[in-house]
Amino acid sequence: MPEIKSLGFQKATKNRIFQDVVDQIQEAILSNELKPGDMLPAERDLRETFNVSRGTLREALRVLEHKGLIEIRLGTSGGAIVKNTGMEQLNETLALLIRSGELSVIDVGEFRAGIEEKVAHLAAERADQNQIGRLEALLQEARRLTDIGVSAWDDFLDTDQEIHKKIAEFSGNTLYKFVNNVVQDNIRRYYDRFLDPTMERMEQNYQDLAELVDAVRNKDARKAARTAQQHVYAFNSWMREKEAVRAGRSAKDAEQKTPKK
């Protein structure tokens, strides 16, 4: 076999050659032969290694980039750098599903309720003192913003979201953390668009958060779960009201998802 750099790359032969290149590089990354931070050779060198044209190689790199496995930088000392896998792709895919209309905001809200319930349950069981302290600090910030009033609405929602993300992190389950963050990021757009800031909502929201953090502090998993669920339900019903109003105004949008009990 012709000398092939230091890595175990082979010549590409199948149909859809670029796919073969994708597979080989991906395999090298997932098997930890290439670690995050490592640089791939320059395109003109890789081209030769795989014995393909530069265009074909670039199609392969494009796919790997979109998979989130590499990042491509410009200029001298640029090139393809191996990335830490993350939830960015999950995030984008979920956003696509929502935008394409295959997922209703009601479905996403219901899903969120389930996730947050579980995450709160686990966090109450597992959070240590240090983590509880960080939640309390965030809660204090939420209190401060609530006292400011509706003008701090956006910052309040940020802090609210931050608390939920921390709780997901403290659940100790990476997958719950990923999924929770993805859902948070995607549903937040709807809140920003559809949720009017009112003092009542801020205050109730804060009370929910306080109760939730309190349950976690006391390691009362069942209460934490219940509180988190009710907290999300409140958001969801606000959203449904809004949705109902919108549907009422534009009569052409006749088809609505059957409301769930």
Partner DNA sequence: CCATAACAATGGTTAAACCATTCTAAAGAA
Partner DNA sequence: TTCTTTAGAATGGTTTAACCATTGTTATGG
Chain residues that interact with its own copies, rule: CB under 8 A: 1-2, 5-8, 15, 18, 29-30, 32, 55, 58-59, 62-63, 66-69, 74, 84-85, 87, 89-90, 92-97, 99-104, 107-108, 110-111, 114-115, 118, 122, 125-126, 155, 158-159, 161-162, 172-176, 178-179, 184-185, 188-189, 192, 221, 257-258, 260-261
Answer yes or no: are the C-beta atoms of 205 and 158 closer than 8 Å: no
Nearest to 238 by CA among 201, 207, 208: 201
Beta strands in the chain (DSSP E): 70-73, 79-82
Residues 4-23: x where in contact with DNA by CB under 7 A, - otherwise, as a string: ----------xxxxx-----
Contact with DNA (CB under 7 A): which of 8, 36, 78, 114?
78
Site size for DNA (CB under 7 A): 27
Nearer to DNA, 15 or 129 (CB): 15
- Smallest distance from the beta carbon of 20 to its own copies, in angstroms? 14
Q: Is residue 122 a contact partner of residue 171, using CB atoms and an 8 Å limit?
A: yes
Q: For DNA, which is the closer residue by CB, 18 or 176?
A: 18
Per-residue x/- mask for DNA, residues 37 to 66, rule CB under 7 A?
---x-xxx------xxxxxx-xx-x-----
Cα–Cα separations (whole angstroms), residue 165 to 119, 138, 185: 10, 11, 10
Cβ partners under 8 Å of residue 107, min gap 6:
257
Task: State how far the Cα of 171 lies from the Cα of 167, in Å rounded to an integer.
Answer: 6
Nearer to DNA, 65 or 155 (CB): 65
Torsion of CA 199, 202, 208, 211, to 10 degrees: -90
Nearer to its own copies, 160 or 208 (CB): 160
Q: Name which of 13 and 200 has its Cβ closer to its own copies.
A: 13
Q: From CA 32, how far away is CA 139, in angstroms rounded?
A: 40
